[in-house]
Structure 1
Amino acid sequence: MTSLTPYLTVHDGRAAIEFYAAAFGAVETGERYEEGGRIGFAALTIDGAPLYLSDEAHEYGAWAPRSVGHATAAVALDVADVDATYVRAVTAGATADREPEDQGDERRGWLVDPFGHRWVISSPLP
């Protein structure tokens, strides 16, 4: 079996968990490792898909977008309703990047979460 799981480094793990829950319905699976007051690992799911995150740990090469000045990748999230998810994420604190629009056979919108990570939200057109 092959799987691929985004593992995001953020500047405030506790706030990130709260944001991903409010914006995307993320649920923490109960797996969390904390070290010295910071989150070394937390496992979440969004509609059953895994998402891992940790606080920055420069000594391990884990840098958040805030520290490097920009995102270095994007996370793609397929949802049932792009427009509703986009509004919910912006209301929760994301920055609108590109408003949802029809592109080919999908409706897509782009956001930047409060931790500097880019997200493309999409759903198939009927």
Structure 2
Amino acid sequence: MEIPEHYRHTVIPHIMVDGAAEAIAFYTTAFGATEHMRLAGEDGRIMHAEIKVHGATLMLGDADAPFAPPGTGGPSVALHVYVPDVDGLTDRAAAAGAELLSAPADMFYGARQSMLRDPFGHVWIFLTPLT
């Protein structure tokens, strides 16, 4: 599988909030955002959604560990990057001092993914599409 065009050559912000559905409604009204996709859990909380604001992709969802809502002391943003070799990049980052939050694993949505925290507190999610 090839990296989707709208994910190529970019770092995709992924904000975590309390009330993701309300945030999507706000961004639609305030910024003219359009909803691209939404994955909700059985409890109605948004696990993952994507909107476009004037062509730019923004990921968002309801906050769950390791994320926290803004102002509560934890990170509320993750940075997604599609890479050719998630396993190699994860090994390299861990060797350089990144904290491994989740080892590379094949995910149900068609990507191999890892999650790391850099020494400055930022959470990075690296993905390689599965073929």
TM-score by length of 1: 0.49
Q: Specify which structure has the higher proportion of helix.
A: 1
